[in-house]
Structure 1
Amino acid sequence: MDDQPFSDPASLLISEDHYITRLLHASGVALDSLGVGGAPSDPRQTWRIVAENWHLFAGTASGYWLEEALDQVLEIDEALDADSADRVFNQIQNRLDTPDFRPRALFERFKIDVLATTDDPLDDLAGHAALRESGLPGRVIPTFRPDRYLDPENTQFGSSVERLLALTEETATFEGYLAALRGRREHFLHHGAVSTDHGVEEAYTHDLEPSDARRLFQRALDGTLTPAEARVFRGHMLLEMANMSVEDGLVMTLHAGVLRNHSSATFQAHGPDTGHDIPVRTDFVNGLRPLLERFGLERDFHLVLFAVDETVYSREIAPLAGFYPSVYIGAPWWFLDAPDAISRFRAAVTETAGFSRGSGFIDDTRAFLSIPARHDTARRVDAGFLARLVVEGRIRTRDAERIADDIVGAQPRRVFKL
């Protein structure tokens, strides 16, 4: 919010980008040496390590994003390798020390209309309020991310719910718990939020009777749920989140199919979000049926489904979005927001659901300087896909031009109620 300059090339481009650090780790580089998880490290030495191993990223999307950031954003015209490491580091540092490369200047240069953060339900969102009043072009909006408050198997569930109830002055009953969550959603709406975000290993929902929900909630607070009961409660709370979205209009986004913290040793040493979250098979059709039975035909309810199991695009997500007015196909996410994967995604979903049932391209990255390259790539891939359909006589040129414009602007605004 204070528009502080980025401190150094390594912390900006390497340490927080687990696309890069995970592949280096696979090749024997210690995560500590890269500053992962806040580990103390020498930024210049971290940069040298990356440069010495840059050949590992040939053909990867991660390599392309960083090279585009170096070339197009930071205006570095020298290839990165062991010999050039210090020179490139110095050039980047010199750029970062100038006003033109501060966060706000880059935000304006990238012409960002909307940037959404994911935030804890108890966040006061004072930073968002200050940004809204600062005259920043474009919108920086919060997103309601309640995962730890809904999952009894999360080690922070009990303490998180206790803090939630204390802040909202609600009772430690299931009804009080729901009222507290509703109150915090209202707080987010007041600060400009348009969506909630749910990161889950499985797209599983369950419709409990009220008496059963009350009973499981009390046992969740006591820490006595079995794994099967915790799964049912978690699934019911996703259904409750959908119910609240029907009530308050927040778009519900579901990022499903990731096993978090696959390496216990890495988690213990470096914490979460450090490169060892791994995709798993996902069942949307059966898992979401209880939710869709209740709310799938609600036209003001928007449910955006994101997957990292690309086998589900044509088999499950596109057919669901092609029937339920509430369901939209989320843009390729995580391991799939790369050129070839985006192309496969378009081929998988379009024949069943067309273009209108997608979210439009939105990126999900911590690598701020890669935003232009990611959007440019998606637009080029989509343009190529549309051009092929025109050449094959499957759509008209004027329709292709309309679709190309719609999926980068009007469509995400429509789906996310912007």
Structure 2
Amino acid sequence: MDNSVLKQQKFLSEDFLLQNEFGRLLYHNHAAHQPIIDYHCHLSPQAIADNHTFANISQSWLAGDHYKWRAMRTLGINEKYITGSASDEQKFQKWAATVPYTLRNPLFHWTHLELQRYFDIDQLLTTNTAQEIYQETTAKLQTQDYRVIGLTKKMNVEVICTTDDPTDDLAHHIKAKNQGDGPKLYPTFRPDKAYAVENSKTYTKYLSQLESVSGIMISRYSDLLQALAQRIDFFHNHGCRLSDHGLEQLYYFESDPYDIENLFKKVLTGQQLDVAEVQYFKFRTLVSLSKMYHSKGWTQQFHLGALRNTNERMLSKLGPDTGFDSIGDFSQARALAGFLNLLDKTDQLSQTILYNLNPADNEVFATMTGNFNDGSVKGKVQYGSGWWFLDQKDGMEKQINALSNMGMLSCFVGMLTDSRSFLSFPRHEYFRRTLCNLIGRDVANGELPADEAWLGKIVSDICYHNAKNYFKFG
């Protein structure tokens, strides 16, 4: 055999994913050292405020991570070792047995990046190395440098924006701010439950919670809006500058086929709305919320396209957000355009980030943003980073290419983790390496000039400065 066939770059070397000289230059000189602004995640604000110590790596790595859970189930591992009664070490052993079979899935890269970046472990995780790695990581996690704040400092995290329900008292955000250590922690207003009228029984229970925290009795739809406005004021006073919404799709109605107060009364009396009524309720409520955001100068985010809770048996057993969602194929363009246009008509369209989960919609979303950029703000309407099933190398490249071809990559506010794990921040590195490799490839192909100062500035802007300027955190 020709020995040249055996030559390869070392796995996870310092030039991981960097396949050309200019890409390596861009990454090492301009991207690698940039601080991280993680403007959308599902991390626990209490863990940050308390500077939590994880008992072991399973609790910091496997708990709540439905990416890993899906892989383990696919391999045939019993739920006992995933979300069940097995010990943390037993669960880790099962994950270690799974990792070698995740080749070409981003989990393989993320797993070993995280072991390297946080714990300086270069070994591959397998059944043979699992016990040693479990013991070494668990021992380190008991030390001061490996408490939550230490973990964020290792990755140079400057800002974390959590995802918070309007009923949250933000006590942990307040505590973290008063302590002043670690990354700046900001809440994000996530009001999905405020318009989740599909189930009237669940919805009326939520309204009771909203009444309690807002001090407003909610007997009419106008009361609901008043209570939400009160919570927006509360969030704003505690540093919130972002909202977020998870929807299958946005809805738009040119006329008003229903009386919104009557729909609200139906829900309060336990009646189920039909599909069109539910869509209209969501539409009217989101329009009102979006106008409130605009009055505060917030950025609104729309995560669109997830088909959630598809497995009823497992939903009843484990609850939502446990790994049984997928990409949906919902129609997006017309209603999305109508919704944004309605707000733009009265100049009440906030800075907006649109995320799609179906890669077939990449160009739709990339071109939609250009329809509503009006010159008032750099990159006012953004095509968001590859999200959920698309936050891997191929998904990132396709998002970057669609944005480059249809819009302005140079204005992009960059990556986020969308994660529940404090060990997930190397996903920013994964994105930065992918970005630099793509630009470096264009230079190698003669499609861009080899101007390090110019391209280096654009790279550093995408990795950090664009987000810093766009969100204007206090």
Aligning the two structures, in what range does the TM-score lie when normalised by the shorter sequence? over 0.9
Distance, in Å, in 2 between the alignment partners of 1:208 and 1:135 is 50
1:413 maps to which residue? 468
Q: Does residue 1:21 correspond to 2:75, yes or no?
A: no
Distance, in Å, in 2 between the alignment partners of 1:32 and 1:201 is 31
2:283 maps to which residue? 235
Percent identity reads 27
1:75 maps to which residue? 120
Q: Does residue 1:275 correspond to 2:320, yes or no?
A: no
Contact preservation (8 Å) 1:207, 1:291: no
SS at match of 1:69: helix
Q: Deviations over 1:225-256 (max 9, x none)?
A: 22221122112222222121122222110011
Amino acid of the structure 1 residue aligned with 2:454: D
SS at match of 2:359: coil
Task: Kindly state the Cα deviation for residue 394 of structure 1 after the two structures are TM-superposed.
Answer: 4.2
Contact preservation (8 Å) 1:261, 1:276: yes
SS at match of 1:303: strand
1:179 maps to which residue? 226
1:142 maps to which residue? 187
Task: Kindly state the Cα deviation for residue 107 of structure 1 after the two structures are TM-superposed.
Answer: 1.6
Amino acid of the structure 2 residue aligned with 1:149: A
Q: Does residue 1:345 correspond to 2:399, yes or no?
A: yes
Distance, in Å, in 1 between the alignment partners of 2:457 and 2:444 is 16
2:245 maps to which residue? 198
Q: Which moved more, 1:241-250 or 1:163-172?
A: 163-172
Distance, in Å, in 2 between the alignment partners of 1:118 and 1:328 is 19
Q: Residues 221 and 395 from structure 1, CA distance in 2 versus in 1: closer, same or farther, beyond 3 angstroms?
A: farther
User: Of the candidates 189, 204, 223, which is equivalent to residue 158 of structure 1?
Assistant: 204
User: Of the candidates 133, 152, 168, which is equivalent to residue 107 of structure 1?
Assistant: 152
SS at match of 1:368: coil
Q: Which moved more, 1:198-207 or 1:242-251?
A: 198-207
SS at match of 1:407: helix
Amino acid of the structure 1 residue aligned with 2:461: D
Amino acid of the structure 2 residue aligned with 1:306: Y
Q: Does residue 1:366 correspond to 2:415, yes or no?
A: no
Task: Kindly state the Cα deviation for residue 121 of structure 1 after the two structures are TM-superposed.
Answer: 0.7
Q: Which structure 2 segments of 5+ residues have no match?
A: 1-48, 374-379
User: Of the candidates 361, 364, 386, which is equivalent to residue 439 of structure 2?
Assistant: 386
Distance, in Å, in 2 between the alignment partners of 1:273 and 1:32 is 17
Q: Deviations over 1:91-148 (max 9, x none)?
A: 1111111111111111222211110111111111011011001121431111111111
Q: Does residue 1:126 correspond to 2:171, yes or no?
A: yes
Distance, in Å, in 1 between the alignment partners of 2:295 and 2:190 is 18
2:36 maps to which residue? none
Contact preservation (8 Å) 2:367, 2:407: yes
SS at match of 2:399: helix
SS at match of 1:390: helix
1:46 maps to which residue? 91
Task: Kindly state the Cα deviation for residue 356 of structure 1 after the two structures are TM-superposed.
Answer: 4.2
Task: Kindly state the Cα deviation for residue 163 of structure 1 after the two structures are TM-superposed.
Answer: 2.3
2:266 maps to which residue? 219
Q: Residues 138 and 84 from structure 1, CA distance in 2 versus in 1: closer, same or farther, beyond 3 angstroms?
A: closer
User: Of the candidates 353, 356, 365, which is equivalent to residue 317 of structure 1?
Assistant: 365
User: Of the candidates 115, 120, 131, which is equivalent to residue 86 of structure 1?
Assistant: 131
- Alignment map for 1:55-74 (pairs within 5 Å): 55-74=100-119
Task: Kindly state the Cα deviation for residue 223 of structure 1 after the two structures are TM-superposed.
Answer: 3.1
2:51 maps to which residue? 3
Contact preservation (8 Å) 2:413, 2:463: no
SS at match of 1:311: helix
Contact preservation (8 Å) 1:117, 1:142: yes
SS at match of 2:121: coil
Q: Residues 284 and 72 from structure 1, CA distance in 2 versus in 1: closer, same or farther, beyond 3 angstroms?
A: same
Q: Residues 403 and 258 from structure 1, CA distance in 2 versus in 1: closer, same or farther, beyond 3 angstroms?
A: same
So what's the TM-score if we normalise by structure 1?
A: 0.93
Q: What is the aligned length? A: 413
Distance, in Å, in 2 between the alignment partners of 1:166 and 1:131 is 24
Distance, in Å, in 1 between the alignment partners of 2:300 and 2:352 is 5
User: Of the candidates 330, 334, 344, which is equivalent to residue 384 of structure 2?
Assistant: 330
Distance, in Å, in 2 between the alignment partners of 1:193 and 1:368 is 21
Q: Residues 300 and 146 from structure 1, CA distance in 2 versus in 1: closer, same or farther, beyond 3 angstroms?
A: closer
SS at match of 2:409: coil
Distance, in Å, in 1 between the alignment partners of 2:367 and 2:356 is 14
Contact preservation (8 Å) 2:93, 2:127: yes
Q: Deviations over 1:176-222 (max 9, x none)?
A: 11010011011111111111111111232346649722222222222
2:14 maps to which residue? none
Distance, in Å, in 2 between the alignment partners of 1:69 and 1:268 is 33
Q: Which structure 1 segments of 5+ residues have no match?
A: none
Contact preservation (8 Å) 1:321, 1:357: no
Distance, in Å, in 2 between the alignment partners of 1:98 and 1:251 is 38
Contact preservation (8 Å) 2:71, 2:98: no
